Every structure is written in structure tokens, then in C-alpha cells.
Structure 1
């Protein structure tokens, strides 16, 4: 086996010890801070007790931060002690290496700030009616933004009557009332932070997030006028700006924890956390603290992640807590567009950047589709294609396949042929952003509009087009559905994540004034603040501040269940959670269902019977009809042992029966209904399809129907492949002189100094305990591999990415030095004597008790001699 990847380019697996030290096992320290640890104490242990314990073991350390709600500290260790040593101290509950987080990279945008669909009209979430009818603005609610800071001087953050925003430390009547800079401009995650009192944003991400929550850019004039007016979800909230990122680089979770606690102490009602990433279990520091804060009365909105192209099991860090909301993304649905009417139907169009203005053409400029000899619509890249077509003075309709030429080239060809304009049918759907030509009217139209024009043209080629003078509100093809980039669940314990969705694709919002003031970004980072703003509207509407998990239940109960683009069946709950947030439904509903999700687990552990509670909070007796809405099943294992980036969509539907199909509930009372589930008859259990659906309670008289999502996996999850055997993993290799990994020759002997064996692994799904075990020549277990670059190979792990940002395959090399950790509770590795040792990669199967070897996926890599 040969894997031509230089070690320095490799990304890391997330590994955590099965004991109290959660050894994240990052490769070459790319993701962790060397010698930095986060410690969580037991509940009855205080900071003084912990210091005494550290000093008694003669651990030389420096305190980085101390936490009261989390009940712990972050330290840097200057002596040779490691996390195992710290975890062995009395009173210590958990120890993690300090992990570095980057601001999630925004997804590639296809829209420019002037495109109509970049502005959320809030129609898809009911926020528009909440603003107009109920006059809710989030006034009196405090929202903490833990991010890159906020450009508080931006006029979109100005209080009523003010021309620009301000920060309360240096101004009056400021919307940004609270905040702190934990790091300084030069902080990268690896150098010392230089905190100060000014949370000004130099990166942009935090300002964009804050704008989605509560900007008001409706009436700004002058040099900071937006490309088009827009308003945030809750335009009168009070902000707390907690800056945890410098102008570049990463941030340690030790700083993020400190920001979370300060936000709580400052009285924030809601915390927005548009950060995190990767595949994880819920026992990570930010998720632990998030649940503690929510239990104390806060709400917390966390990004589900932008790894939708990576396949299953990818919902990230902070939102994995039991009480937090992990937020997925939907693409924007509505926009104001100019349109044309043809054969009695109106169609929106998006003009090219080159033309830049609405079409104004005479009735004689009829629409003419241009075809290839095969009868298919042409892409317009060949000038000869127009020779046989009568297009002079007409608007040509062509196909938006840009694989052969760009829009400008085909516009030039059509202009020379005498065309009056061009409409390009977007493929596969939506409205494309065209470059075009300055002197030639060009625009994109939706794919469905192109089909409609073709059908109408065939019936009557003499149809004329009428071009609108004013823009109108249109729901755009491809909008209002889950974003492709939004991460798929489930989590490592088959829990239902993400929880809820919100608009996050192609969102225009505020940006630092030093960076043009406005930007269009996409990501779950953009969907998350939408949910944070929705929390503010809900709190204002109810004149109370319920815990975040209580509000999460309302949002999930009342969300809009959606299909994927072009589909007639509902998108999986493992993609959209309970659906797209509907704030109008949430504040007007008089019914609730608990719990807010149902985890059916797998076939072996199937929860066949589940009880739900329906509560009538209204003033009238109501009768509810129970029904079941199935959703797409997702098959990520149709091609082998590693999950595919995009699932195969299947119609594997569970069946649900009810103890009663109708239930009558008096005001203020509740009723329990028993649900009985049967897993899908269809679907290959050997390919582990994830099925889901929604149980709906519909009031017969009036009111909002409410629902609860369920998820399950057909098959035995303990048989889900953990190691990627399709690519030859795991394997024992060595590094050649050029840094490439190569097979080990028979009889090769390592000196363990200048040449060492490298064990390469690639995990396609979570495991509660990933290990690389060492046995001597007599088959006696000697310990777990301890490596030069990635710590000890023992502990839970999330799955690895299919590819990194450079499109390189992601795997983990474990560079062995001959040391082992003799037991999971050992505090230090030992060096084995020279000899021959057998190497075994063993990963605990999901939902098993962890008995070795019965509950493990095992690969014997053969013998290593040194």
C-alpha cells in the first residue's frame, strides 16, 4: 500500500480517552494547544482544592482561565506532566487538551449583494407578519454574540434616531451595551491573547452574524447605504459582543468557555455560537457548559456545521448538548424580482452584471428557443447554431450549461447574430448570477420557467412577452429547502441532531465598515443567528424568558416541514431537524408535544413503543387528529464501507400506529398517546439507511398543527463499518526519504529513532473507543500505542472528513516510538524493550458495552520489529 501524502498536510481525527482524560489526539499539534488543558472538577471541588492537588503532584502550571459555572480551569503545564497526570488527581472529573477552533469558512456564494434573493423577506419564517402585525422587535432582550467581535459603529446597529452605532463604554443610547475583547487583533490561537475592553470586529464574521440577529438597514443613506434595504430578525435587541477571534487564525476553547460564562454573568438571555465543526460526541467542553447555562435559564443557538458534502454523522460540537439547539441551514426562498409575462404566466428573471438594469423591449422582441440538431436546447456557444434560426430582433432562449463557454462569450455570439436579448435557463435550478455583456440584455431564468416557455412556444410561437416595470415578490426555485452544505446527522449515539433549520444560504448582512459595510455569506453560521433572533421575538411575545430547551420544543413543534428541492417527499430529519423555523406559528400555537424528538435507535435496539404528551394551552377544549408524515431515507453506505458524501435517497418508510387516532383535551390539560413504530419493510439493512418522519397532531377547530420528528437506522448499528477498508485502511507503513508513506518490506527492522513505523487509520463513523493495541510475541497485551505526533491511541472518536479543504483524503498517521500506555488509567507511557510486537487496531462498535474483543471491529496489522 502506498499513500502519497506528506505528513504535514494531514488533518486530524478527534480522539478522546475512555477514562477521564479526553485525549483529542490531534496530528502534529495542528488542532490543539501544546501543553494546554481544560480541567473540569467534581461538583464538590473548588479552585483552591484543585490548586492544592496540582501542587501536591509537583505539576508546574500556569492558570489561563478559571470557570465557575463550568467548575474548572484552563492551564498550561510547564513540567513534563500530561493530561493523564492531571486526570489522576483527586477531585478532577474531566480533562481535555485545549482545542483550537477556526471561524467556519463561509460557503461559496453564487449571489452578489444586489441580487434580490440575498435579502430575507422573512416570508418563509413568518417573521414578516410578526414584525408587522404583532410589532415584535426583540426590544428588552439581550443577545450575546460569541464570535470575531461586532463593528458597533455600523449605522445598521444604531439606536432609533441615531446616525451611527456605538459601544456603551464610550457612548450613550447604544445597542451594543455589553462586551469584551478576550484576545486582541494579533491573537491567532497559538500566541498569548491580549485582552482589552474594545470588542471591535476586524474579521467580519461576527458583524455579519449580529446583523442577521438585529440589524436595521432599511433607511440608511449616504456612504454606508446598503446595496439593498434589509432588516434583521429582532432589530431592537440589546447586544453583547464577546470577541474570541483575532483578525486571523483560530481561538482556543479555553477562551470560548470564558466568553460563555461572561455572557451569562452579563445577563444575556441568548447566546449565539456560530462556530465549531467536525464530528464529535456530546461530551466536549463547550457542549457541557452550554447545557449548564441553559439549565440555569439561558437559551443557546449553535451551528450544526457546513459539512453537508462529507456525508453522515457530521453535526458539530456545541449544539450536541441535550438542551442546546443545533441549527441547520435552508436557502433563501423569496426575493423581489423584475419579471416578464409570457403565455399568461409571470416569470422572475435576474439580469446579468454587465447589463445591470431591467429589460425594456418592444412586443416584437418575441422569445425564440434555439435548438441543437438533436432537438435539445442549445448552450449558445457555437455561432453557426444561429444560422438556421430566425433570431434577429428576438430574445433567444438557451440552456445554462457553462461547461463550454461563459455567459459573456455566448452573449457576444448572439449579439453579432442580431438577437435583441438573451434568456438563459438555469441548470439544474434557481437563478444564476451571470457576468454577461454591458451592451446586451441578458438574464437568467429558473429551470421550470424555461420548461414552461418551451411548452408555450410549441403551442404558439407567436406569443409575445411583456416586461414588468416594477419588481415583485417571488418564491425562487431551489429556495426554501435545506442547503446542500448543511451537515447531516445523526450523532454518535444515534441521537436526533440537528434540531431546527433557518435561512442560511446567500444571506446579505452587515460587515465591518472598513470592509465595505455589507457582504453576502452562506453557512449554518448564518442560520444560527436567525434562530437566536427568533428566540428574542418569542421572549418578547410571551413577556417571559423560558429556558432554551423549552423554547426549542416550541420551535421544533411548530416548524415547517420541507421537501428537498425538486422532491415530493419530505427531507430527512437528519438533514432539516424538525424543519424550517416558523416564528409566527411558535408565538400563536396553543398546543405542544413532548418530547421534542424521538430517537428510535437501530433495529437491534429499536424503541418500538414511545409515549408522547400533547398539551392544550389554549382556552377552549380541542380535539386533535394524529397522523404520520414519512420522510426521505438516507443511504450513505450503498457504495461500500465509507459513507458517501451525498446519500442515496430511498423511499424506506417506517409505519406508525396510535393508541388513539383522535384525542380530546380540555384547556390547560394534557393527554398521553402511545406510538407504535415498525421499521421500514424496504431498505437494505446491510447498508444501514437512516429513516425518519414526523408525527403530527392537528387541531380540528383552529390553531397550529404541531409535530415531533423521529429518526432511526435500519440494520444493526454495531455492524456499521468504522474503518475505511475500501481505501486500504488500516495499515502499518513507514515514511520514505521524501515523506511519503510506503509498505514495510518483509523482515524490516526499525531503529525507532531515525525510522519509525506509522500506523494509518481512517474512520468513517464514530466509535466509543478507538484503540491501537500492542501484543508481544507471546500474545500478551502490553498497552496502547503512544505516538510521537498524536498521543495515545485510546478513546472515543468522531468520524473523519472525506476530504479536507484542499480536496485531499483525510486520515490519521500514528508515528510509533516504541512506547505504550499500559492501561487506560495509566498516567504515563512506558518504553517497550526491543523485540517483535503484534499491532491490532480495534474500534468499539456503537451501542455496545465495550467487551474486548467481542464488541470491537478488529484488524491485525502484523508484526513490527525494533
Structure 2
């Protein structure tokens, strides 16, 4: 890596305008690399040009990565330069902080059904037929796995005739690179130790690769699979691009380096099962992804596992216009430890912190109720007051809107309870992090309801736990997974795109970790789509661009219902539906575009044209129809979206310019759709409605095709952006040097509390060589929690005496403005809050050329203002504004 100190003067160069800095893009608190930036250059700027211009502006930096297709670089800045100053340099187009992504915390269990096809879900997607009848295996197709590496020695990745896998020529894993090394955690640049060996020590990447193309049907060597299974495309060639160490996170700079390497190595498809944040589509990965897809690649990305966080939470990794954002569907069967209560056996999943089945001693169960008679979530220790739970198992509700399993476990420590069962909402079996040494298990929702009913009739009934695991039909099997994230994105675009099996998936694992395991997550659904691309390419004997394949898969996906529902699940949850690869390959019809964004009432797209193309050899007549889906109400009387949206029957109506169309072979017909918004939905509650427009061919056995639509009733400019339910925004006070995690903003430990207007802060001068740092120095901070996206999240500072605008708050080496996704409901078990430390400086304008200015001592008013979605951004009319009041600042 090259270290550069800038000494020269500005070279002669003239470019039209300054670049754009995207400071607020990440939705997860403080999840950026300090001093780390990704820079995209203008198309006519070379790497040499850029280095000369950085030198000319006296930027001191280390080069982390340089990119060719993306045309940019990732750097760590050592001098006093921030994103604004970098974006002001001629030739710079965009600047992003380096975001930190995590490997999703997928649920572990052991799953098997009655045969291999039940395990994989292939019978739900047509892949079983493609394997057996069409002999498709993905041979000749290359898939790049950008993840934690691959255990290429695993026998499930062995070439034909071999008993073990290998890496290199004549192997299944032919290409790869380790970008990070074992010790990399995502933040420290000095941890990087790249080499040519992409061996997996974390496990996630090997599991992903097994779903794509593992083959464990005839393995005789140890360890043997718990049950034979085969991946979607068992003869694909792999590229293993390791961007995670053995533990921890990774930086977005490493991810885009891996994307470019995969393209250079000739990969046809890239899979990215990476945990991103809620946001907008303008991320470095999306920018590069669109360029790669235009060059012939396909990209599949996980939609995210924040289904318990409500709407607007689809991951930004897959938000590109042409990439596939993949939702998860649950498998049908699972293998779990069981318990018996009231003569009925049911499954449960132990918490990861406890790691063992609950004590087998028969005990009584005590459901814990709130004052209103509803099952308590167990987030307040006071709910146990006056209740004898000694040596008993308590039952609580698993709603995650207020706390997680860690807090629930901590709350029973002093009660004498023997353990805790957590009822999963809305259905399925949740993955619990748990609390060490507290026996804890997740159970299905209906199991919780049955326990309560039995308890009310016979409270003396005891529960017994099984010694061994057994097979259980999984609540919600074949339906969208509860953990799969809801859309829409910040521009009201339809995401996710489609779904695939991702709940309870048996696949490969590193040999050092046992060889096989079952995980759940959109991380498991995304590689299913990547493997499906390989089968499609093999069947067509060509390699269409990713957006072409995505359209075929979306057009022919199986529109699915929610668990125990008579209505179809929202397109904001399932996208176009559960992929049917067989139909995608066999169809002779397509609909364009592959989704319809109706936006909100104010910007309502009443009339939309679609094109139906007959790619078959004969004239075909199609009947057009409308299939409505669930509407999602997230704002009945709150400012932060409900963790589980209220499902309503608010249906739009669709009129067709013609309900039947006759299309000759090879021809296209345009049909005009006229939409009417739902009548039942309450505009002030902003329900997201959706449905599907279907074209059914008249020929017997013809494959229907469809396109999903989504819209929001009400004015999106009135959707609450800032969470006011938790008394946020606010200003917590604390000594200089405090890290101000989210908990402090919500009334944290002793000595740190919210401060009221009029409070006097004593701030150490950030630009003085003689900084004052003692117990009397206080650093003001602004705590913000966003419940939905905003194109421009700003913190503004005004002179309290005359109301003059002084500038945008400047802190953490960046100005407080820019687009932002919403905050997750919880982060590390507590409500997620973004906290901005303020060092007394401001920047005058939302401009890359704006320089920070230190204010003099005085009294200032702090105003948090978030631009309303789809607005022009005129202040103050187009902003949601919260005045925090006036505070005295003494700069010392």
C-alpha cells in the first residue's frame, strides 16, 4: 500500500462542478471506517490525474484500493480533510464514507425432511424437474461468491470422480482471492493481510456456495452429510472472493474490489449475501453493479433479515436498478429439539448464547401477562413483581420493538425462574441471541397460544423436553420468512425483487466446523437465485444480462400467500413471488417493465403502459387480470413504524385498455393499465398497497406471467421521518471522550442524561494546539432516530439572539447533512439511534467546497431538519423540523 504526503501545488485543470458527498447514507449508527472514503472520479479522469489533484490539495492519505470499472479509489485520510473537501477536488464525481457491513447472524439448527428435495426446496421452484428431466446442472457457468471464502477442500465441491475438493485449475473452485486475512474485522486498515488463498474460516461463504452448487448426494468420506442434498447448480464453477475475516465485519471498499476482481476473472454471476443497511440506491456497490450488469453480468443480493423491523428496511446491497434483491421463503420441514405440554409435541430452538437444550426436568410454565391481559414481552423486570416463577419456565412474547432476547434473559436473573420460552411473532421459530447461562428457547406463535389456553384451564400442567431432535413441520413453511425484510426503498421503488428458499436450509460448512449445518436468512435465498441464473444460462445456451434473466424470473415467480392467510403477501415482502426456475426457462412470454412503482397519492401514476411479448412460435391469446395483495399499515398512531405491520384488505383496482390481447409469434403488444387507489385505506396511516397484473395464455398448459405493482396511499411527504415516540431528537450530555452509543441517547447509565434547553456546554477547541480536556469539558451531541428515509438529513445551527443561520453542525469529521436510510428498530439489543458529537464547528453550505468554521462562544439554537421524500428540498417548507432549543457554548 502506498503512503502519500502532498507537497505540490494545484496542477492546471478545469472541470465543471464539484462532486457530491454522501455522508448520511449508512442507516446503522456509526458503522463507517474513521477517515475512510470511497471516491468515484469523472469518466475522463485517470488514476494518475486523481493522485496529482489529491497532492495538489495537500491531502495526506493511504491508498486502500483502486478501481478500474468503477473508476475510483478507496483511501484512508491522515490529514485534516473530510468528505466535503475531497468532493471539492476537480475530477471527483462522488464521495462516500467506507461503510462497514456484517455477515448476517443466520439461525443455526439441523433440518431434514423425508427426502433431499424437501430439504432444498427444489420441489417448490421447479429445480427438481430441471435436474431430473432436463439434466441441467449449471455446467460451464461461473459464479463469484463474495463472502467469507469457501472451504474448497470440502467433498461436496469435489470434481467428478474425486473424493475431495481443491482450488485452481481442473477444480470446482477455479478462481479466488483473500482480500483481508484471518484477523480483519472491518475497521482497522492495518488488519488487512491479503493473499491468494480464499479458504473460509467463518463458515458463511461455504454454506452459501453449497446452496449454489454443492453436491452431497453420494459422499462416503467423513464427515457424511446428515442427509444427502444437492445445490441448485451442482456443476457450476466457483470464484471465491473472501472479504470477511474469521470474525467481524467488512468495508464497502473491500466489497467493490471483490466485485471488480470477479468480473476480471470472468464470473457470469455475483452473489452477495451481505448485511447492508436501509438506504437509497446510490451506493458504490450499486453504481458498480449497474456497470457490471451492463457488461453482461448478473448480481444477486440478500434483501436483509430485518423483517422484525417493519417497512422501509430492505437492504441497500441489492437496490441497483438491474440487480436482484432476494427475499426469503421458509422451507417446509425442520429438525429441532422438542417439548411436550398438554400432550402435544412442538419444536423449539435454543438461544445461541446458551447453546444447549433446556434442562430436561419437567417443570410448570407460567405465562407472564401485562395489566391489559396480553402476553408480556418481558422487556421490563417489573412484570415479574408478585409472581412466583421459582424453578418454573416463563413464557413471554417475542415482539422485538422494545428489546431483544438478551434483555429478556437478563430480566429473569433475580426471579428464580428456571428458563424462558419466547413466543415468535408473527409466526415461525425465531433465532435468539439469548443471555449467557439463562436457558432460553424460541417457540412457534401457535405453540404459545396453545400453552396459554392450556395454562388457563390447568395451570399445574408441566412441560417436558426431548433428549433428542426430531422432525417437525415448520410453522409458515412455504411462505415468506418472518425475518425477511420489508420494502419499499427511499424512492418508493419496488424492492425486494423476488424470493427463494432461505429458511431452514441444509448446506455445506467448513470441515473444521463439522462439514454441514442448517442456516436461515436471506443470505441463503440469494445464492439460490444465483444458482438459478446458472441453470437459466445453461438452458438457453447463452449468457443474457442479469436484468433480462431477472425479468424472466419475476414474470414467472409463484405469487404466494402469507402463513394461514387467504390473501396474497405484499409485494413489499415477497417481491414478485417465489422463484419458479422451470417456468422462467420454459415461458414464451414476457412483460415489461418487470415491476410498477405507483408512488404515493400526491405523485400517483394512474396510467401505466406495459408491453407483452410473445417469444413463442405460434400466435397466442392472453387474458389480463388483477390479483390484489395485502396492504401494510405501519402508522396507526405512532411516528416509528410498527415492527409488525398491520395487514389490511386495502386493494387497488385496475382497468385494462383490453382484457384480451392476441399476439402473433415474435410480436409485442402494449396494454394501458389504469389504476385506482384503495378506497378503504386511511391516508393519514400511509398504508403500502400492492398486487399483481397477470397475463394468462389461452393455450392449455401455457405459463401465466405477471408484474407486481406497489404504491402508498397518502402523501409521502407527511410520513413521519424522525421518531418522536422515544423523545428523540434530543441532546444527551456527557464528558469529552464518551462514545455516546445509542443507549446514552435513550437515558443511559448514571452520569449521562438528556440535557434541557439553556444548558451550558464547555467545548475543547478542536483546532487549537493547546486543547483543554478535563472533567469540566462537555461535548454536545445530537441523537436522531429515523423511522423512514430522507433525501437530506440536516442538523442546523442558528444564532439564538438574532436567528441568523450559522451553518450545518460539523462533527465526526463530516458535516451533518445528506441522504439517509431509516434506523433499524434495534442495534445490539437496544433501540438504534444515530448520535452526532459536535465540536463547535459548522459548515455554511451543503457543498463539497464548504470549509468548517469554529463558532465563537455564545448561545445557539440547534434544529434537526429532515427533507420530506419526493420533495424539491426547499427549506423550511419541504422539511420535517424539530427545534431542540438554545444552548450556551463556551469554546476553550
User: TM-score, length-normalised on structure 1?
Assistant: 0.81
- Aligned 8 A contact 2:163 2:221 in 1: no
Which residue of the other structure, out of 834, 843, 847, is the alignment partner of 1:821? Answer: 843
Which residue of the other structure, out of 627, 630, 633, is the alignment partner of 1:632? Answer: 630
Q: Counterparts of 1:646 and 1:29 in 2: how far apart (Å)?
A: 22
Alignment of 1:704-719 (within 5 A): 704-719=703-718
- What does residue 888 of structure 2 align with? 865
- What does residue 767 of structure 1 align with? 790
- What does residue 217 of structure 1 align with? 216
Alignment of 1:47-126 (within 5 A): 47-106=47-106, 108-109=107-108, 111-114=109-112, 119-126=119-126
Deviation (angstroms), 1:48: 1.2
| 1:258 equivalenced with 2:254 (yes/no) | no
| 1:249 equivalenced with 2:248 (yes/no) | yes
Q: Counterparts of 1:561 and 1:138 in 2: how far apart (Å)?
A: 26
SS in 1 for 2:45: coil
Deviation (angstroms), 1:241: 0.5
- What does residue 420 of structure 1 align with? none
Deviation (angstroms), 1:809: 1.2
Alignment of 1:440-839 (within 5 A): 478-702=476-700, 703-735=702-734, 741-744=752-755, 747-753=758-764, 754-776=777-799, 777-787=801-811, 789=812, 791-806=814-829, 808-825=830-847, 826-839=849-862
- What does residue 235 of structure 2 align with? 236
- Aligned 8 A contact 2:570 2:689 in 1: yes
1:336/1:696 CA distance change after superposition, 3 Å: farther
Deviation (angstroms), 1:730: 1.6
Q: List per-residue Cα deviations over 1:705-739 (Å, max 9, x = no partner).
A: 00000000000000001111111122234237966
- Aligned 8 A contact 1:38 1:96 in 2: yes
| 1:173 equivalenced with 2:195 (yes/no) | no
- What does residue 379 of structure 1 align with? none
1:78/1:695 CA distance change after superposition, 3 Å: same
Q: List per-residue Cα deviations over 1:474-512 (Å, max 9, x = no partner).
A: 986521100000000000000000001000001110000
SS in 1 for 2:644: coil
Deviation (angstroms), 1:614: 0.2
- Aligned 8 A contact 1:718 1:847 in 2: yes
1:308/1:517 CA distance change after superposition, 3 Å: same
Q: Counterparts of 1:302 and 1:824 in 2: how far apart (Å)?
A: 32
Q: Counterparts of 2:143 and 2:780 in 1: how far apart (Å)?
A: 51
Q: Counterparts of 1:727 and 1:335 in 2: how far apart (Å)?
A: 38
- What does residue 387 of structure 2 align with? none
Q: List per-residue Cα deviations over 1:181-207 (Å, max 9, x = no partner).
A: 111112222143111111110000000
- What does residue 367 of structure 1 align with? none
Of residues 633-642 and 728-737 in structure 1, the stretch that sits farther from structure 2 once superposed is 728-737
Gaps of 5+ in 1: 1-17, 338-347, 354-400, 406-424, 434-443, 452-470
Deviation (angstroms), 1:749: 2.1
Deviation (angstroms), 1:251: 1.2
Q: List per-residue Cα deviations over 1:226-284 (Å, max 9, x = no partner).
A: 00010000000000001111111111111111110010011000000000322111011
- What does residue 164 of structure 2 align with? 164
Of residues 205-214 and 325-334 in structure 1, the stretch that sits farther from structure 2 once superposed is 325-334
- What does residue 268 of structure 2 align with? 269
Q: Counterparts of 2:792 and 2:876 in 1: how far apart (Å)?
A: 12
Q: Counterparts of 2:815 and 2:633 in 1: how far apart (Å)?
A: 33
SS in 2 for 1:633: strand
Q: Counterparts of 1:428 and 1:277 in 2: how far apart (Å)?
A: 24
Q: Counterparts of 2:784 and 2:430 in 1: how far apart (Å)?
A: 41
- Aligned 8 A contact 1:218 1:231 in 2: yes
Deviation (angstroms), 1:517: 0.2
- Aligned 8 A contact 2:25 2:820 in 1: no
Over the aligned positions, Cα root-mean-square deviation in angstroms equals 3.0
- What does residue 296 of structure 2 align with? 297
* Number of residue-to-residue matches in the alignment: 738
- Aligned 8 A contact 2:27 2:822 in 1: no
Q: Counterparts of 1:76 and 1:233 in 2: how far apart (Å)?
A: 40
Q: Counterparts of 1:476 and 1:750 in 2: how far apart (Å)?
A: 56
Of residues 819-828 and 115-124 in structure 1, the stretch that sits farther from structure 2 once superposed is 115-124
1:402/1:235 CA distance change after superposition, 3 Å: farther
Deviation (angstroms), 1:791: 3.0
Q: List per-residue Cα deviations over 1:747-779 (Å, max 9, x = no partner).
A: 432211311322221111000001111111211
Deviation (angstroms), 1:224: 1.9
Of residues 294-303 and 731-740 in structure 1, the stretch that sits farther from structure 2 once superposed is 731-740
SS in 2 for 1:230: coil
